[in-house]
Structure 1
Amino acid sequence: MNKPKVCHFTSAHKPDDIRIYHKECNSLAEEGYDVFLVSAYPAESLNGPVKVVHTGSKSRGRIGRMLFTTREVYKKAKSIDAEIYHFHDPELLRFGLKLKRQGKKVIYDAHEDVPRQIMAKFWIPKVFRKLISVCFEKYENYVARRLSAVVVSTPHIRERFIQIHPGTIDVCNYPLMNELMEPTSWDDKQEEICYVGGISVVRGIQELMDTLLLLSNLRLNLAGNFSNTELEEQIKSKQAWNRVEFYGYVGRKELLSIFQRSKIGMVTLLPTPNHMESLPIKMFEYMSAGIPVICSNFPLWEEIVSSNKCGVCVDPTNPEAMASSIQNLLSNPEAAKEMGKNGRMAILEKYNWGIEKKKLFNLYAEL
């Protein structure tokens, strides 16, 4: 029996998003589903079984995207006339509910705990954050309980949504097994560390630059987009910027090459409520590349790192402590190499997409 037509749609993510395209959509296509992905952005060099469609939307600011781009994405997705719709942005909740009322099976993929994330949004005046967070949570709960299912990215977010919708599952954003590479020899690398992902104040870029200034022989491989142009200009004006290799947004192959040349992977996000219970993909990708991790000393992250002996936890607000942790690893290569091996083994045994995708398959089969 042919499996049904499936349409994933997003207004905020690029079509080659690692979770949406490389993991969920490709896995479903390999399982035999007829998969479409609608994005507001054009697709480049995405040749595979997933049919990528873009809306040709104009480049807009955040408010314009929420008001207009979302509707364009919805209309394009609706025109595909799929049996199952799977959307990835909270700004699309109203359209997910519309599709459900039209008799479609609809899945909300909650990548983040958005009400807690709102509390750290720099562009929302601080005096309004609590009110907006509470109002959004009520609205998100209202829509979510009326959809067919909810997919979330961490067990912590699942604990919240399972109270609202019994059809909630966690599908963690762990690395793809087919991207596992042979780790580069420690001795073949230079004194370089890396940070990959979104670059913002709450993700610790200021503290990371201050740390770099304390270690004169160290270089930083930095990949990702800045949250805004003002921050980008500010960071690039810092004294330590001349020891940064900045790549901007990179594809999967270039990302893997960054891991190969780096001795340590940094994931020192600041302690916001959303970060403290998250499972950042960058941490697990560092582990899969066989490099030790230096991460924020949040209880959940400490449990992962200490139980797998794959890195060091540190106060992310303290550049001196971060610099000391980096220097200790660079000065003790045997210990650092052992941490890298342990992290890679943990990925092979438990933190990988091969395990997580089975949860997604089971959910789709039930729908």
Structure 2
Amino acid sequence: MRVCVGTIVHHPEDARITHRQIRALLDAGHEVTFVAPFTHCNVTPQPGIRAIDVPRAVGLRRGKAIKAAHAALRRGVKDADLLLVHDIELLLALPRRRPPTVWDVHEDTAGALEAKPYLPDSLRGALPPLIRAVEGRAERRLHLILAEESYRERFTGDHPVVLNHTYVPETPPPPPGANRVVYVGHISAARGAVEMVELARLLRPHGIRLDLIGPADRDVRPLLRDAQREGVLDWFGYVPNRHALRMAEGALAGLSLLHDVPNYRESTPTKIIEYMARGIPVVTTPLRKAVSLVERAGCGMVVPFGETAEVVAATAEAVLRLRDDGDGRAAMGARGYAEALGNYHWPSAAPDFVALLEGWARAPEEVAVRRAGAVTV
């Protein structure tokens, strides 16, 4: 099977796209063409794929990237058996002549608008109806994959869910240490950037440092740079997911201080599963699914939502309690690792994902929305 995969929003090293889905397709012997912003992100395409470079869609001005993507996808789908796109923007760039097409729904696009500081208030009100209309049209014309069970509520029919599992080491990682906390992932105000900087200042006198591993939104970069210059934290910027998780191993705790905004409210933060896979205790805000996962596995601590100072104080208290309880944090790390290995190991789900795409490629005329019997992989 020849698959064309496309994104103009996500990083070409995105964990879900590249390190899970594309890797699963390559491991199964399929050919992959990858349309992605390689130059913009300073990424060299991995061996074994056919790469097509496009501009990245950022901020309000996305027309140029969408236009370039249309031409790139036309090239990419020649002789392809399936097209797999990962952005709602690419629904506006689909070539008219194309193979069976799949939209992988990564997020609640309308719900995410609240966390985008560059949007004027006029667009915050106008965009949600347009987004829902685009989603409805896509459901009628394309195959859909959902990244979260909660996304089902946005669509008329049932669609397969491909959860954000991760790669869990076959051998247990080192136990958590006592002098470092980590955050892995994209950094933004809604993901707790301000709280984490203040937390770093509060923990510094206790001999505990904060490592931030991931790219940051433009509006919080000055804050992170200033904190790094002050010596209160280390911000490493973008690091490929597999390397970032190795860097996180041995940390005292992994942070997930997401705010209570619609796009996060009913999602399971992938970073929590990644921390668990690396034997790191989790400290999370009380998003419903995050709490359920952490409490079920007994692998971390929950801090309340609130004003910045309240969240920082509660998080610092949780970190210090973990620091002072070596046996407890080691047990949390071990329980989290066991839960991740047993239930969230991507190679266990990858064959079902590949089979799903193979089935759609073999039956190009079947695009109807299913009403029951959805498959979760």
State the TM-score, normalizing by the size of structure 2.
0.86
> Which amino acid counterpart does residue 350 of structure 2 have in structure 1?
K
Match of 2:87 in 1: 89
How far apart, in 1, do the equivalents of 2:229 and 2:197 lie?
Answer: 6
Aligned-residue sequence identity (percent) comes to 25
How far apart, in 2, do the equivalents of 1:170 and 1:225 lie?
Answer: 27
Secondary structure class of the residue paired with 1:112: coil
Mapping for residues 57-72 of structure 1, pairs under 5 Å: 57=55, 61-64=58-61, 66-72=62-68
**Deviation for aligned residue 1:126:** 3.4
Going from structure 1 to structure 2, the CA distance change for 1:286 and 1:46 (only over 3 Å counts) comes to: same
Secondary structure class of the residue paired with 2:317: helix
Between 1 and 2, higher relative CO (CA 8 Å, sep ≥ 6) is seen in 2
How far apart, in 2, do the equivalents of 1:131 and 1:232 lie?
Answer: 28
Say whether the 8 Å CA contact 1:287–1:340 is kept in structure 2: yes
Q: How many residues are aligned here?
A: 350
Mapping for residues 1-367 of structure 1, pairs under 5 Å: 4-42=1-39, 44-55=43-54, 57=55, 61-64=58-61, 66-80=62-76, 81=78, 82-96=80-94, 98-99=95-96, 102-147=97-142, 149-161=143-155, 163=156, 165-166=157-158, 168-177=159-168, 179=169, 182-186=172-176, 189-215=177-203, 216-217=205-206, 218-228=208-218, 230-238=219-227, 241-317=230-306, 318-367=311-360
Going from structure 1 to structure 2, the CA distance change for 1:250 and 1:283 (only over 3 Å counts) comes to: same
**Deviation for aligned residue 1:348:** 1.0
How far apart, in 2, do the equivalents of 1:131 and 1:359 lie?
Answer: 38
Flag structure 1 segments of 5+ consecutive residues without an equivalent. none
How far apart, in 1, do the equivalents of 2:292 and 2:6 lie?
Answer: 34
Flag structure 2 segments of 5+ consecutive residues without an equivalent. 361-377
Going from structure 1 to structure 2, the CA distance change for 1:50 and 1:257 (only over 3 Å counts) comes to: same
> Which amino acid counterpart does residue 212 of structure 1 have in structure 2?
A
**Deviation for aligned residue 1:127:** 5.0
> Which amino acid counterpart does residue 204 of structure 1 have in structure 2?
G
**Deviation for aligned residue 1:248:** 0.6
How far apart, in 2, do the equivalents of 1:60 and 1:169 lie?
Answer: 27
Say whether the 8 Å CA contact 2:147–2:161 is kept in structure 1: yes
How far apart, in 2, do the equivalents of 1:54 and 1:239 lie?
Answer: 33
Say whether the 8 Å CA contact 1:221–1:258 is kept in structure 2: no
Say whether the 8 Å CA contact 1:88–1:108 is kept in structure 2: yes
How far apart, in 2, do the equivalents of 1:293 and 1:333 lie?
Answer: 15
Going from structure 1 to structure 2, the CA distance change for 1:60 and 1:121 (only over 3 Å counts) comes to: closer
How far apart, in 2, do the equivalents of 1:60 and 1:32 lie?
Answer: 31
Going from structure 1 to structure 2, the CA distance change for 1:253 and 1:356 (only over 3 Å counts) comes to: closer
Say whether the 8 Å CA contact 2:38–2:45 is kept in structure 1: no
**Deviation for aligned residue 1:5:** 1.2
State the TM-score, normalizing by the size of structure 1.
0.88
